[in-house]
Amino acid sequence: GAVVSQHPSWVICKSGTSVKIECRSLDFQATTMFWYRQFPKQSLMLMATSNEGSKATYEQGVEKDKFLINHASLTLSTLTVTSAHPEDSSFYICSAREPDRYYEQYFGPGTRLTVT
Amino acid sequence: GQNIDQPTEMTATEGAIVQINCTYQTSGFNGLFWYQQHAGEAPTFLSYNVLDGLEEKGRFSSFLSRSKGYSYLLLKELQMKDSASYLCAVSDSNYQLIWGAGTKLIIKP
């Protein structure tokens, strides 16, 4: 089956610093990857859609200069939270989609970010 | 606008059957998904319905009626490990997933 990994699984950083989260498709090529954020007891919120080799498409209300997304290869997308603040503390989850399976997304295990 | 509704929380007894409903209004429809999510973990895929009817997979079944904008997830022979949140998601005309808020299922002995 399709496997997606995320690294790190959890990270603690100080306010004002930047954090990079990696999302990798391990056994398939992902032309499209999605980044979600989930606050406690809430559902997933789509932050952006990332297509390999092009700029990410951000959802309304998501600051593209704060959440930098790079999808440089067919197996890797990165999310960098710049100048992190405590309110950015959340569970960040990526998912990936195969080119010929538009209807299905494979989820990574998630990254727990805590900003102190 | 796009909207997906499901109950916030449900309680059931171990060994019993529970049905979690989901109604949706979306711009386009390319299938409906059910995911299970345990606290602190990513969602795991349970089922996918794109045609009307019932899909059965072991203890879990999922039903879809496109004309009514309605789906349900049926869990049989409930086990304590089934305590989790169950997320309903619809793939819209752009193949983006529109998510419901999730139903927290509490299983009691």
Which H or E run contains A21?
A: strand A19-25
pLDDT surpassing 80 at residue A15: yes
CA dihedral B106, B107, B108, B109 (to 10 degrees): -160
CB contact under 8 A, B43 and A107: yes
Q: In this predicted structure, what is the pLDDT of residue B80?
A: 97
How far B87 CA sits from the closest chain A CA (Å)? 8
CB contact under 8 A, A91 and B95: no
**Residue A110 to residue A101: CA distance in whole angstroms:** 22
CB contact under 8 A, B99 and A91: no
Q: In this predicted structure, what is the pLDDT of residue B96?
A: 84
Q: In this predicted structure, what is the pLDDT of residue B61?
A: 97
- Average pLDDT taken over every residue of chain A: 92
Burial class (CB in 10 A: 0-12, 13-18, 19+), A72: exposed
pLDDT digits (tens, 9 = 90+) for B55-87: 999 999 999 999 999 999 999 999 999 999 999
pLDDT digits (tens, 9 = 90+) for B17-31: 999 999 999 989 999
Chain B residues near any Cβ of chain A (below 8 Å): 30-31, 40-45, 48, 50, 87, 91, 95-97, 99-102
Q: How confident is the model at residue A40 (pLDDT cuts 50, 70, 90)?
A: confident
Q: How confident is the model at residue A63 (pLDDT cuts 50, 70, 90)?
A: very high
- A91 Cβ under 8 Å from any chain B Cβ: yes
Average pLDDT over residues B8-14: 97
- A77 Cβ under 8 Å from any chain B Cβ: no
Percent of chain A past pLDDT 90, that is, above it, reads 72
β-partners of residue A35 are A48, A94
Closest CB from A43, A108, A110 relative to B99 = A43
How far B98 CA sits from the closest chain A CA (Å)? 9
Residue of A nearest to B42 (CA): A109
Average pLDDT over residues A86-97: 95
Q: How confident is the model at residue B95 (pLDDT cuts 50, 70, 90)?
A: confident
Q: In this predicted structure, what is the pLDDT of residue A102?
A: 72
Tokens 């309680």 locate to: B11
- On chain B, the residues whose CB falls within 8 A of the CB of A44 are 43, 87, 99
pLDDT surpassing 90 at residue A101: no
